[in-house]
Amino acid sequence: MCLNKVVRNLDQELLERMVKEVIASLAGNNNTNNEFSSKNTNKVNRQDYPLSVKRKDLVKSATGKKLEDITIENVMNGKIGAEDCRIAPETLELQAQIAESVGRNAFARNLRRAAELIAVPDTRVLEIYNALRPYRSTKVELLAIADELEDKYNAKVNAQLVREAAELYEKRDRLRKD
């Protein structure tokens, strides 16, 4: 077998492995957005885990692609792109329901916070993360971030978390001094 053919086979194997990992992450991952939660009639529990096997009809990407649409062939022919491999808030909500059904309430809350953050651009999430580090922001700046999360992205739980951080940082003298 020539070297080029070996490399092509390795590339194909790597691509297949990557697609399988994406599919697994789509299936393995709540949304605090009450609008979704109140409309969601697809309640799931521990018997539905893993969703990719037992309830694949409910799993979709952030762009609405179904699990069965995410194939190597569709990736190779350009029908599936990177944005199509991002998890949907609804899928995170389903995973949170499963977590709650087995008593993992803290994990369910984390999944719901993550679902809220899907609407926030990645670069902004990193900026907010850095702003939340001790001594990086003033209380006014943190409260402005909380307002932005709530008003612009409807990320109410994350906004409350930032407000709580602002209060705690103030009490512990961890705010940036102007």
Mean residue pLDDT of the chain comes to 84
Q: Quick one: DSSP state of residue 60?
A: B
Lowest mean pLDDT among 9-13, 58-62, 132-136, 147-151: 9-13
Residue 174 pLDDT exceeds 90 = yes
Q: 160 is written with which tokens?
A: 């409350």
Q: What does the pLDDT average to over 101-115?
A: 95
Fold classification of 119-177 is Hypothetical Protein Yqey; Chain: A; domain1 (1.10.1510)
Cβ-based neighbours of 166, under 8 Å, separated by 6 or more? 139, 142, 143, 146, 175
3-state secondary structure of 87: strand
Residue range 138-172, pLDDT digits in tens: 999 999 999 999 999 999 999 999 999 999 999 99
Residue given tokens 């697994």 in the structure block: 24
Cis peptide before 50 (omega within 30 of 0): yes
Domains in the chain: boundaries: 43-116, 119-177
pLDDT at 90: 94
Quick one: average pLDDT of 81-85?
Answer: 90
pTM to 2 decimals? 0.69
Give the long-range contacts of residues 118-124, CB within 8 A, separation 24 or more: 118/62, 118/86, 118/87, 118/88, 118/89, 118/92, 119/89, 119/153, 119/154, 119/155, 120/149, 120/153, 120/155
Q: What is the pLDDT of residues 42-60, one digit of tens each?
A: 799 999 999 989 999 999 9
